[in-house]
Amino acid sequence: MLLPNVGKPSFFYTLVYRSVSLYYRLYYRSFTIIGRENIPRDKPVIYAGNHQNALMDALSILFAANGRVAFLARADMFKKKPIAAILFFFRILPIYRIRDGISTMGQNEASFKMAAEVLKNGTPLALFPEGNHSDTKRLRTLKKGICRIAFMAEESADFSLDIHIVPAGIDYSNYSDPGARLMVQYGKPIKVADFVPLYRENPQKALSALRDSLSKSMSPLIVHIANEEYYPEYLAICNLCRQSYLKKKGEANTHPNRLKADQDIISSLDKKLNSSAPVFEAFRGENKVYQELLEKHGLRDWLVQKNKVMPVLLFLNLLASLILLPVHLYGLLLNYLPYKLPTRLTRNVEDHVFLSSLHFGIGLLLFPIYYLLVLAIFCLFTKGLLIKFLFGLSLPLSGYFTFHFYIHLLKLRGKLRFLILRLTNKPQYHRIIEARQNLVNRINEIIYSN
């Protein structure tokens, strides 16, 4: 297979990169990047990230790097020439697996040589060594493919590349919804050269050793819940205790601090698991009751946790929202179709891990086409360059405002429901407050018991 010069700069690629990067950063409420100082500036780099959110993971690596990155993907995606051309344009190279047939494995030599050339030319590679995606907060067993690629790329250049593997932890506050928080955290690089002597002596041992080293480097960069039996309980406890934990520590509510808080909570739970299994079982039942109460009254846990809905402040918030409502309705009218259509088109997707990627991709294509079409129609019925310019500018600006104002209205509705419950149904209100406090007490019993 003839492979393109993936490392070669391209004006059109740069244009697409900048456009998609802008939309990607607007898609998320925040995009935090930690540990850029760990990326070698004068060495060939392979990024190794955890894989929880399909295409969005690859884009997070690409845009966090703030420059050219080439990817390796399974070869069956390249069977159709038009799709292969698109993948090559986006610097994605084929990698053949044993399941693709033993006869295809020889074709990897061309990919490995291209990978070596890409690395020599200063373009990093990115792979996801877990092999596939899963929306679970844990690092799954790594495949040896990334290690094999690193060694074979080195071998193709007579072990002169000095490749560094940079572990990357990708964390989302929510996998599927736009407006979530995203963080990419880089760890200390691993020098492939340190494992070359073992590779010369015993390639299989070297592959295993490099994989194990990479796994140890990646797990501290993410929320890693190793326990499968109590995974939902671990996750629920993190969600229930995260804010209070940060408050006790006197730390700001930032994404890095939230991740560290979850890691500390999980570590404490792991230490107490063997002696607190019955308490975990009790927590499971009590949490189910609490979640059912929240669902019954249309509430979220953050409302119960804060428990500080002030009538006067809520009234002022409602008044301000009412004043801004016409702007919201204007934006909703102009942007309803491109916002709604992606969810309608993906309603039958079975693997919900793909939802965020599909919504992002459809929106990326749909919004510009829709805006140009609406602007063209508007221009047919109006005169004056200024009014046309202002209307065109208002399309994306009103869409951005409407999206965030909609989230604001949802929170406002939750506060209103909570206040009404507190004023009109005190028994149910106190039951919810008590249910949450019982959960917190149960968690403290697990973590702080002797």
Q: What is the CATH number of the domain that holds 67?
A: 3.40.1130.10
Of the candidates 87, 90, 32, the residue with the CA atom closest to the CA atom of residue 64: 32
**Residue-level pLDDT at 6:** 58
Angle between helices 355-380 and 385-424 (to 10 degrees): 130
195, 171, 422, 79: which is closest to 94 by C-alpha?
79
**Looking at the domain assignment, is residue 96 inside a domain?**
yes
In a domain, 447, yes or no: no
Mean pLDDT of 373-387: 95
pLDDT at 215 over 80: yes
Which pLDDT band, with edges at 50, 70 and 90, does 9 fall under? low
pLDDT, mean of residues 365-375: 96
- pLDDT, one tens digit per residue, over 20-73 is 999 999 999 999 999 999 999 889 999 999 999 988 998 999 999 887 888 887
Q: Give the pLDDT of residue 54.
A: 86
Residue 393 lies in a domain: yes
User: If pLDDT is split at 50, 70 and 90, which confidence band does 367 have?
Assistant: very high
What pLDDT is recorded for position 2? 44
Average pLDDT, stretch 389-406?
96
The whole-number pLDDT of residue 115 equals 76
Q: Are 316 and 423 within one domain?
A: yes
Q: Flag whether 173 is in a domain.
A: yes
Average pLDDT score, the chain: 89
**Confidence label for 97 from pLDDT (cuts 50, 70 and 90):** low
Task: Choose between 244 and 86: higher pLDDT.
Answer: 244
Phi-psi bin for 120: left (phi > 0), alpha (psi -120 to 50), beta? alpha
Task: Give the least confident one: 30-34, 35-39, 163-167, 226-230.
Answer: 226-230
C-beta of residue 129 within 8 angstroms of C-beta of residue 145: yes
Lowest mean pLDDT among 218-222, 315-319, 353-357: 353-357
Please tell me the least confidently modeled range out of 107-121, 134-148, 313-327. Answer: 107-121
Tell me, yes or no, whether 233 and 330 share the same domain: no
Does 164 score more than 60 pLDDT? yes
**Spatial distance between the Cα atoms of 149 and 110, rounded to a whole number of angstroms:** 12
Q: Find the mean pLDDT for residues 70-97.
A: 75
Q: What is the mean pLDDT of residues 158-174?
A: 94
- Same domain flag for 31 and 62: yes
Is 4 part of a structural domain of the chain?
A: no
Q: Which of 269, 298, 327 is the last residue of a domain?
A: 269
pLDDT of residue 87: 75
Query: Do 93 and 6 touch, CB atoms closer than 8 A?
Result: yes
Which H or E run contains 272?
Answer: helix 255-272
Return the bridge partners of 45, or none.
164
If asked whether residues 357 and 320 sit together in one domain, one would say yes
pLDDT in tens, 104-113: 555 666 777 7
CA separation for the pair 262, 266 (Å, rounded): 6
Predicted confidence at residue 180, as pLDDT, reads 93
**Structural domain includes residue 1:** no
Contact 129, 183 (CB under 8 A): no
For residue 153, the model assigns a pLDDT of 84
Task: Report pLDDT for 114.
Answer: 76
Is 414 in the same domain as 321?
A: yes
Is the predicted pLDDT of residue 102 greater than 70, yes or no?
Answer: no
Q: What long-range pairs does 113-118 form, CB within 8 A, spacing at least 24?
A: 113/156, 114/3, 114/6, 115/70, 115/72, 115/149, 115/153, 116/153, 116/154, 116/156, 116/157, 116/161, 117/7, 118/6, 118/7, 118/70, 118/93
Residues 114, 61 share a domain: yes
Domain co-membership, 49 together with 186: yes
Per-residue pLDDT, averaged over 265-289, amounts to 85
Most confident of 274-278, 378-382, 440-444: 378-382
* Residue 288 placed within a domain: no
The bridge status of strand 164-172 relative to strand 181-186 is antiparallel
Mean pLDDT over residues 409-438, rounded?
A: 95
Q: Say if residue 175 is in the same domain as residue 244.
A: no
| Helix, strand, coil percentages, rounded to 5, for the chain | 65, 10, 25
Give, to the nearest 10 degrees, the angle between helix 231-249 and helix 277-296. Answer: 80
Same domain for 190 and 252, yes or no, is no
Mean pLDDT on 254-281: 88
Whether residue 130 lies inside any domain: the answer is yes
424 falls in which pLDDT band (50, 70, 90)? Answer: very high
357/323: higher pLDDT: 323
**Average pLDDT, integer, range 390-416:** 96
Tokens of 314: 């809520």
pLDDT of the residue at 442: 84
Q: 215 and 126 share a domain? A: yes
Give residue 30's pLDDT: 94
Flag the least confident range among 121-130, 158-167, 382-391.
121-130
Residues 199 and 78 in one domain: yes
| Total domains present in the chain | 3
Q: Which amino acid belongs to residue 11?
A: F
Kindly tell me the burial class for residue 166, based on how many C-beta atoms sit within 10 Å of its own C-beta (0-12, 13-18, 19 or more): buried
User: Within a 10 A sphere around the Cβ of 173, how many other Cβ atoms?
Assistant: 16
Shared-domain flag, residues 21 and 37: yes
Residue 137 sits in which domain range?
11-221
